[in-house]
Chain A
Amino acid sequence: AQSVTQLGSHVSVSEGALVLLRCNYSSSVPPYLFWYVQYPNQGLQLLLKYTSAATLVKGINGFEAEFKKSETSFHLTKPSAHMSDAAEYFCAVRGSTLGRLYFGRGTQLTVWP
């Protein structure tokens, strides 16, 4: 079975500051891991995904995430926050069978000017 825990339902940073959103996963098989972003009244948009090709994954809008098997983590980072990054972020895991994604509860990112 797969599951995801996102630590911190709300994160606030100043514009230009480092963004760190935490995600820990549980999976009985080698996982595929995803980060999605959701802007108000919109669907989810893929930021990046881990497919075992490389542990450091670069995504859109300057975001990246590092897969750490020993820590069962896949934290999302961005060196410098922008006002437009304010949104809700979801981490998700998929096992190797079927296509079911298991989502975390989400982290709301607020960026202060």
Chain B
Amino acid sequence: EAGVAQSPRYKIIEKRQSVAFWCNPISGHATLYWYQQILGQGPKLLIQFQNNGVVDDSQLPKDRFSAERLKGVDSTLKIQPAKLEDSAVYLCASSLQTSGGADTQYFGPGTRLTVL
């Protein structure tokens, strides 16, 4: 079974530029998550999709971050304009179902973003 795919793996940009990340979840997984992991910290949820609808985006800085999941499959996360503090690893995860519970979230390898 193929895992969660993410691209690119690494990205270096200058502040005020824009950047986009792509995620393809495990086939059949209804729920997709984007996390931000700053160096030395645990992952923090940015946004959660159930199929192509947003379940939780309370921690997403909406003035500069946006995300979409068209057709309920793959997803893109965009930052425009980027700030120095956006330097982090952006992790995508997927799971079979939501509504809490013990369903496992499967993580992709992440995209390491460096903002200069």
CB distance from B53 to the nearest CB of A (A): 13
Instruction: Please tell me the number of chain A residues within 8 Å of chain B, measured between CB atoms.
Output: 27
Give the distance in Å from the alpha carbon of A36 to the alpha carbon of B110 in the complex: 15
* B91 interface hit (Cβ, 8 Å): yes
Residues of A within 8 A of B (CB): 4, 9, 32, 36, 41-46, 49-51, 90, 92, 94-101, 103-106
- Chain B 16-58, CB-CB to A under 8 Å as 1, else 0, gives 0000000000000001010000001111110010000001100
Give the secondary structure class of B's interface.
Answer: loop
Q: Which residues of B contact A92 (CB under 8 A)?
A: 42
Tell me whether A90 and B100 are in contact (CB under 8 A).
Answer: no
A32 nearest in chain B by CB position: B102
Task: Tell me whether A99 and B103 are in contact (CB under 8 A).
Answer: yes
Q: Take A99-B33, A99-B55 as given contacts and tell me if A44 and B101 are in contact as well, using a CB distance cutoff of 8 Å.
A: no
Shortest Cβ gap from B105 to chain A (Å)? 7
- CB-based nearest A residue for B105: A101
Which 6 A-B pairs rank lowest in CB-CB distance, beginning with the nearest? A103-B42, A43-B107, A51-B102, A99-B98, A44-B107, A96-B100
Chain A residue contacts of B80, Cβ below 8 A: none
Indicate if the CB atoms of B108 and A95 lie closer than 8 Å: no
Flag if A43 contacts B4 (CB, 8 Å).
yes
Chain B residue at minimal CB-CB distance from A103? B42
